[in-house]
Amino acid sequence: MLENTQYKIAIHVGYPKAASTTLQKHLFNKHSELRNLGLYPTQNIGIDSQEIDYSCLYLKDNTLQNFYRNLLSLNEAKSREKYKIVSSFLDSEKLNIFSHESFIGGLLKMTDNKKKANLLKTNFPQAKIVIIIRNQFQLIESQYRDHYFLPTEIRTGKPVSFKEEILNQELKQLIYQKYQWEFENYYKN
């Protein structure tokens, strides 16, 4: 647990297809009042994917990369150890931003989000949470627009026409109801 509350911390829960890459590359990494301790994507699909700032702390430091890489597999004792190491990067003069899709998992990745939320709360109790949510239908449509792919398996997807081959009105309604119910119940507390 981070004992010293002198630090301002924000945790960006990087929902897939909700401008995470743009925020990570063009706001968190460039704003003079922010300390970007989050992911800096280098292999992503999108307009801003070609831009790479190699001076970014995430790209220069294996400690931050390992922190995010191991986030899913940490137990509470190991997480405290990792958070203590990562806390050495905090800047008392800036808003420290942690940002990564692993906080929520991938779009189709099943993970224990409640466990991850509890680990974050235990280790950074004073942190503010930043969540950007996209309309679920638009999120799914965007996922299929160019090529359907699992976020963890980008190279294996094949082109699929979302509107013509997959979606019909009944499916659209079922998907919307399911995500709305999950969202309301997950963030109720």
Q: Determine which of 69-73, 90-94, 136-140, 160-164 has the lowest per-residue pLDDT on average.
A: 160-164
Nearest to residue 185, comparing CAs of 113, 107, 103?
Answer: 113
Work out the pLDDT band at 183, boundaries 50, 70, 90. low
Short-list 112, 108, 124, CA closest to 15: 108
The string of pLDDT tens digits covering residues 91-114 is: 999 999 999 877 776 544 546 777
The residue ranking higher by pLDDT, 88 or 112, is 88
CA distance 57 to 37: 7
Cα–Cα distance measured from residue 8 to residue 142, given in angstroms and rounded to the nearest whole number = 34
Structure tokens at 167: 């979606």
Is residue 57 a contact partner of residue 41, using CB atoms and an 8 Å limit?
A: no
At 127-154, the pLDDT tens digits run 999 988 888 777 777 766 655 554 554 5
22-56 residues labelled b (16+ CB within 10 A) or e (exposed): ebbbeebbeeeebbbbbbbbeeeeeeeeeeeeeeb
List the structure tokens of 153. Answer: 């398996």
Residue 33 has pLDDT above 90, yes or no: yes
Number of Cβ within 10 Å of residue 185's Cβ equals: 9
The structure tokens listed for 109 are 């990745």
pTM of the shown model:
0.69
Give the β-pairing of 128-131 and 8-13. Answer: parallel
Tens of pLDDT along 40-55?
887 765 555 677 888 8
CA atoms of 12 and 21, how far apart (whole Å): 11
Question: What is the rounded CA–CA span in Å between residue 109 and residue 96?
Answer: 27
CB atoms within 10 A of CB 76: 11
Give residue 49's pLDDT.
63
Q: In the chain, which residue ranges form alpha helices assigned H by DSSP?
A: 20-23, 57-60, 62-69, 76-87, 113-123, 136-145, 169-186
**Separation CA 184–CA 182 (nearest Å):** 6
Per residue in 7-28, pLDDT (tens digit) is: 999 999 887 778 888 888 889 9
